């Protein structure tokens, strides 16, 4: 019987070049392959359709991912509506909040590499024609983008979206970081009682979705959209919205179109696209972790992206939004104000015109926004701050660079000189903080927490949030070769390179040394003479690995310091 739809599909297929999936579907030699595909339920009439992998990071373990089963359905519907055939496969994820402050955080950043490797493995082994990358949280989104750039087969990203803020009395809005991690320090300091602490716990995460402020997950979602790898509004639409479902459906349809037209990630992930991502990150005051991730993604895309570029662009990109955790607005506010297109519109000529997966260029998308809420996304003529949210520091403590989220630092702490208090682990620093041994005028030095020394470059959210909760954010600085959560605020400098485990100068600091921080001047200096430092270096020996078994022991042998993006060589 003649089937018009199937005939149209065959005509459509005739106009395509050879598909990757032909390697498992075409010819009598592939009889065993087709038998296995039919065993999964693939009908005979679907064998000629483009095979689309839906890399889903659904898990019951991560609040930002628990709603993905719903989005998988809408992506599937879109793929089949567009003329493809979809296959869902699973990708793991770690919730940084749950992994925080214990052994589990060692595994967070390294999973970025595992995720990229797993997607590469599945896509190549099964000769998938295209990919929809369903993601949301911190290391999962960059890992998926790394895979897309590495494979360079048609791919589109769907980020699952942020949670709504929790509602409290008198218009109080609760969010995860400021109302749980910082509340710990407030409780310890006697600012709030146990009942108030419990209220924070119960209201901080009211719905599925990523953390509500401009933390790493949401920053990466925004930058993914900025670079053109996801559809407009995808980066800011909240997890529980019907809009997110419609974006998922449209992304499923779009991937088939991308396969048909052979549009590949490296067509989109150009140097100009990365510059736009950095500009938007700086304009919003986003997470400092994006420095690591953009460097790593650029490497996979074959794009040269020096660390110094973040600072060069930062000096000419004003901060246009005051976003939580350092400011007052949340992701739902940013979305209502115009989302990423609204930010692009406000940045104007600072944004380079680049292609996107949608079709319209970045400037065309910006021009499509009729109005922007300028209380949330300020115009260039009235910025929140004259410079971008991230600054790159250098000096004898960080010869290859360090990163600070200056949008979260008060004016009084932009320059600071204090006395070093050294700790060789996050746990030791937390014990000192909770024990009341850190005083005004100190510089907390947390080392051997870098990519190699950690291993895994743990986030230091617990110490930084405790500092703020204890009321020390205006009198104590913290420096580390580890990294920070996107929720970190205060004078906290991370990514110090080279790291202590590679013999970087941070390994030579001693209690009582004076350290000078000058964010406007972009310097981080250890005020110790060269001769004394040379004597200390002569005595330094690399400590035994903190973790000597399992895959993290292998990871530590191949990972590089943060200035490279903590990539594996």
Residues 398, 362 share a domain? no
Check which CATH number belongs to the domain holding 470 and give it.
3.50.30.80
Is the residue at 203 inside a domain?
no
Residues 219, 345 share a domain? yes
Please say whether the beta carbons of 555 and 455 come within 8 A.
yes
Q: Where are the alpha helices (DSSP H) in 398-504?
A: 426-434, 461-469
The pTM of the full predicted model, rounded to 2 decimals, is: 0.93
pLDDT for 169 = 80
pLDDT for 308 = 93
Is the residue at 109 inside a domain?
yes
Residues 356, 226 share a domain? yes
pLDDT for 55 = 98
Is the residue at 327 inside a domain?
yes
Residue with tokens 């890992």: 143
Residues 446, 321 share a domain? no
Question: Final residue of a domain: which of 307, 332, 367?
Answer: 367
pLDDT for 8 = 47
User: Which are the contacts of 202, defined by CB distance < 8 A and separation ≥ 6?
Assistant: none
CA 266 to mean position of chain CA atoms: 19
pLDDT for 307 = 95
- Closest by Cα among 69, 56, 68 to 132: 56
pLDDT for 42 = 97
CA 451 to mean position of chain CA atoms: 16
pLDDT for 10 = 47
Residues 307, 225 share a domain? yes
Burial (Cβ within 10 Å: 0-12, 13-18, ≥19) of residue 349: exposed
Question: Final residue of a domain: which of 367, 401, 421?
Answer: 367
pLDDT for 4 = 42
Check which CATH number belongs to the domain holding 319 and give it.
3.40.50.2300
Q: How many domains does the chain have?
A: 2
Question: Final residue of a domain: which of 367, 401, 436?
Answer: 367
User: Nearest 5°: phi and psi at 301?
Assistant: -85, -5
User: Of these residues, 485, 497, 549, 561, which one is catalytic?
Assistant: 485
- Closest by Cα among 120, 129, 121, 122 to 25: 129
Residues 554, 443 share a domain? yes
On whether 459 is known to bind a ligand per the annotation, the reply is: yes
On whether 138 is known to bind a ligand per the annotation, the reply is: yes
Residues 398, 359 share a domain? no
Is the residue at 378 inside a domain?
no
Residues 358, 503 share a domain? no
pLDDT for 175 = 85
pLDDT for 559 = 96
Is the residue at 293 inside a domain?
yes
Distance from C-alpha of 121 to C-alpha of 143, rounded to nearest angstrom: 13
Domain interval for residue 53: 45-163+211-367
Does 485 qualify as catalytic in the annotation? yes
Distance from C-alpha of 425 to C-alpha of 507, rounded to nearest angstrom: 12
pLDDT for 172 = 83
pLDDT for 125 = 98
Residues 508, 363 share a domain? no
On whether 382 is known to bind a ligand per the annotation, the reply is: no
User: Which are the contacts of 61, defined by CB distance < 8 A and separation ≥ 6?
Assistant: 93, 95, 98
Quote the DSSP letter at residue 543: P
Residues 233, 277 share a domain? yes
State the CB neighbour count (10 A cutoff) for residue 61: 13
Residue with tokens 């005739």: 14
Is the residue at 267 inside a domain?
yes
User: Which are the contacts of 129, defined by CB distance < 8 A and separation ≥ 6?
Assistant: 19, 20, 21, 50, 51, 52, 84, 153, 154, 259
Residues 427, 350 share a domain? no
Residues 511, 362 share a domain? no
Q: What is the residue-level pLDDT of the chain in tens, covering all 569 positions?
A: 334 445 445 444 545 668 999 999 999 999 999 999 999 999 999 999 999 999 999 999 999 999 999 999 999 999 999 999 999 999 999 999 899 878 999 999 999 999 999 999 999 999 999 999 999 999 999 999 999 999 999 999 999 999 999 888 888 888 887 788 778 778 888 999 999 889 888 988 899 999 999 999 999 999 999 999 999 999 999 999 999 999 999 999 999 999 999 999 999 999 999 999 999 999 999 988 999 999 999 999 999 999 999 999 999 999 999 998 888 999 999 999 999 999 999 999 999 999 999 999 999 999 999 999 999 999 999 999 999 989 999 999 999 999 999 988 899 999 999 999 999 999 999 999 999 999 999 999 999 999 999 999 998 878 888 888 888 989 999 999 999 877 677 899 999 999 999 999 999 999 999 999 999 999 999 999 999 999 999 999 999 999 999 999 999 999 999 999 999 98
């Amino acid at each position: 019987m003649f089937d018009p739809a199937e005939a149209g599909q065959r005509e459509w297929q005739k106009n395509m070049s050879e598909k990757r999936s032909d390697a498992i579907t075409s010819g009598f030699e592939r009889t065993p392959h087709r038998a296995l595909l039919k065993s999964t339920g693939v009908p005979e009439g679907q064998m000629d359709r483009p095979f689309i992998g839906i890399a889903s990071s659904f898990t019951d373990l991560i609040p930002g991912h628990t709603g993905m089963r719903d989005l998988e359905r809408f992506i599937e519907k879109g793929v089949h509506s567009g003329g493809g055939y979809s296959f869902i496969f699973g990708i793991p994820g770690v919730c940084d909040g749950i992994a925080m402050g214990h052994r589990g955080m060692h595994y967070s950043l390294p999973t970025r590499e595992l995720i990229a490797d797993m997607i590469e493995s599945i896509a190549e082994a099964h000769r998938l024609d295209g990919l929809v990358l369903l993601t949301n949280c911190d290391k999962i989104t960059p890992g998926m983008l790394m895979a897309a750039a590495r494979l360079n087969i048609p791919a589109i990203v769907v980020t699952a979206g942020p949670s709504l803020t929790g509602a409290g009395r008198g218009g109080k809005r609760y969010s995860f970081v400021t109302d749980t991690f910082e509340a710990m320090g407030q409780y310890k300091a006697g600012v709030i009682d146990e009942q108030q602490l419990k209220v924070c716990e119960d209201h901080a995460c009211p719905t599925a979705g990523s953390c509500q402020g401009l933390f790493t997950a949401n920053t990466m979602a925004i930058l993914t959209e900025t670079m053109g790898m996801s559809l407009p509004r995808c980066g800011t639409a909240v997890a529980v919205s019907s809009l997110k479902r419609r974006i998922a459906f449209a992304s499923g349809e779009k991937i088939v179109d991308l396969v048909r037209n052979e549009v590949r990630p490296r067509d989109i992930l150009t140097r100009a696209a990365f510059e736009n991502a950095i500009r938007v990150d700086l304009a919003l005051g986003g997470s400092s972790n994006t420095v690591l991730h953009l460097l790593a993604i650029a490497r996979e895309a074959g794009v040269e992206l020096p660390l110094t570029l973040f600072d060069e662009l930062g000096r000419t990109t004003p901060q246009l939004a005051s976003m939580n955790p350092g400011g007052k607005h949340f992701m739902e506010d940013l979305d209502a104000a115009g989302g990423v297109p609204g930010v692009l519109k406000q940045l104007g000529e600072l944004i380079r015109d680049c292609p996107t997966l949608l079709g319209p260029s970045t400037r065309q998308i910006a021009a499509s926004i009729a109005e922007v809420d300028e209380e949330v996304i300020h115009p260039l003529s009235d910025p929140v701050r004259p410079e971008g949210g991230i600054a790159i520091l250098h000096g004898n403590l960080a010869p290859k660079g360090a990163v600070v989220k200056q949008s979260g630092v008060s004016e009084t702490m932009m320059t600071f000189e204090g006395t070093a208090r050294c700790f060789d682990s996050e746990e030791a620093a937390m014990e000192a903080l909770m024990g009341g041994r850190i005083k005004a005028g100190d510089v907390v030095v947390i080392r051997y927490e870098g990519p190699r020394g950690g291993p895994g470059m743990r986030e230091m959210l617990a110490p930084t949030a405790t500092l703020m909760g204890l009321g020390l954010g205006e009198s104590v600085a913290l420096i580390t070769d580890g990294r920070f959560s996107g929720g970190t605020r205060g004078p906290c400098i991370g990514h110090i390179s080279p790291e202590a485990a590679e013999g970087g100068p941070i390994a030579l600091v001693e209690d009582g040394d004076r350290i000078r921080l000058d964010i406007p001047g972009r310097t981080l200096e250890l005020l110790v003479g060269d001769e004394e430092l040379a004597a200390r270096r002569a005595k330094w020996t690399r400590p035994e690995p903190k973790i000597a078994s399992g895959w993290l022991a292998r990871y530590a042998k191949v990972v590089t310091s943060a200035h490279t993006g903590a990539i594996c060589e």
